[in-house]
Amino acid sequence: MGYLGDSLLTAVELILSFDREVRMTVWTSLYTSSCAIVLAALLGVPSGLWLGISRFRGRRLLITLLNTLMALPTVVVGLLLFGLLSRQGPLGYFGLLFTPLAMIAGQTLLATPIVANLVLAAVTGADERIINTALTLGASRLQAVIQLLREVRFGVMAAVIVGFGRVIAEVGVAMMLGGNIRGSTRTMTTAIALETSKGEFAFGLALGLVLLGVALLVNLGLNLLQQR
């Protein structure tokens, strides 16, 4: 299949042509993934921290359940939310199915366990003296925990990066809950899936390269942020 070489060319063309439709899907992908990862961080970082520093009966079981949630297939998340958001479902009234909001919800569900787990791992590996040192310097419990977070920032950053990679690369949720509607919920991954199913392999791969390029830019940005 000569399409491996072709796709590189097509990718360059696509980027240079600055095609309106490509721009639109790039934007939709970025927008939904960013919203989802921010929400996932807001949910996952505190959960991971809490699981990391507190000790209670059933904690290990809870952690195992959280680990299991990482094996949640996108299609299953899609099905679950579909059941809720569809017109027949309990939240059907709001007509959220096939909107970016539905995608964001699904992707958040997907990324939160990942973020929580990795923050937990970072906290588990951290120096045990951090919290007590902060407390004896007069910090409140919250301030001490925030200091802990700063000390394990590499781990937290890794958590966010892995989560972001997960949501921007996923296709099941975007497909089921977004519906791959041209000009509104078509993301780069659903577009790739569509092109592939049309037999436009080179074009699909080219879109994949564009996606990787976008992810690279995001990661370079996060990298700069981290170095400051």
Partner 1 sequence: MVELKNIDLKRGDFTLSIERLLLQSGELYVLHGANGAGKSTLLQLLALLLPPERGELIYAGRLVHWSERRLRPLRQEITLLEQSPLLFSGTVEQNLAFGLKVRNIPSDKQQQRIERALETVDLQGFSRRSVKQLSGGEVRRVALARALVLEPKLLLLDEPTANLDAGQVTALERLLVSLPHRGMSIVIASHDTQQSPWLGGKIIRLQKGCLDKDESGLKAVADQQ
Partner 2 sequence: DHLRLATTTSTENSGLLAELLPPFEQANDCKVDVIAVGTGKAIKLGENGDVDVIMVHARSKEDKFVAAGFGVDRRDVMYNDFVILGPAGDPADIKGSTDAVAAMAKIAAGKSTFVSRGDDSGTHSREKQLWKKAAVTPAGDWYLEAGRGMGEVIIMAGERRGYTLSDRGTYLAFKAKTELQIAVAGDKGLFNPYGVIMVNPQKHAHVKVELAKKFLDYLVSAPARTLITGFRKAGEQLFYVAE
Q: Considering the rule CB under 8 A, would residue 54 count as an interface residue with partner 1?
A: no
Asked if 201 is part of the footprint of partner 2 (rule: CB under 8 A), the reply reads yes
Pick what 181 binds: its own copies, partner 2, partner 1, none; C-beta below 5 to 8 Å, kind-dependent.
partner 2
Alpha carbon distance 220, 35 (integer Å): 19
Q: Which of 139, 157, 158, 212 binds partner 1 (CB under 8 A)?
A: 139
Cβ nearer to partner 1, comparing 150 with 198: 150
Contact between 194 and partner 2 by CB under 8 A: the answer reads yes
Segment near its own copies (CB under 8 A), from 8-16, 129-137, 138-146, 163-171?
163-171
Shortest spacing between CB 194 and partner 2, in angstroms: 4
Site size with its own copies, rule: CB under 8 A = 72
In the list 102, 110, 134, 168, the residue contacting partner 1 (rule: CB under 8 A) is 134
| Per-residue b or e along 81-113, where b marks 16 or more CB atoms closer than 10 Å to that residue's CB | bbeebbeeeebeeeebbbbbbbbbbbbbbbbbb
In the complex, what is the shortest distance from the CB of residue 138 to its own copies, in angstroms, rounded to a whole number?
A: 26
Q: Angle CA(60)–CA(162)–CA(131) in degrees, nearest 5?
A: 50
Residue 61, token pair as written in the block: 């079981």
Stretch that binds partner 1, among 1-9, 98-106, 133-141, 156-164 (CB under 8 A): 133-141
Cα distance between residue 3 and residue 15, in whole Å: 18
Q: How many residues does the chain have?
A: 228
Binder of residue 17, out of partner 1, its own copies, partner 2, none (CB less than 5 to 8 A by kind): none
CB 202 within 8 A of CB 7: yes
* Residues 189/211, Cβ–Cβ less than 8 Å: yes
Scan residues 138-157 and list those touching its own copies (CB under 8 A): 152, 154-155, 157
Q: Residue 59: left (phi > 0), alpha (psi -120 to 50), or beta? A: alpha
| 164 lines the binding site for its own copies (CB under 8 A) | yes
Taking the complex as a whole, the smallest distance from the CB of residue 202 to partner 2 amounts, in Å, to 10
**Closest listed residue to residue 103, CA positions, set 53, 188, 176, 189:** 176
- The token pair at 101 is 């909001």
User: Residue 54, interface with partner 2 (CB under 8 A)?
Assistant: no
Q: Report 90-109 residues binding partner 2 (CB under 8 A).
A: 92, 95, 97-98
* 182/21 Cα distance (integer angstroms): 8
Closest CB 211 distance from partner 2, rounded Å: 16
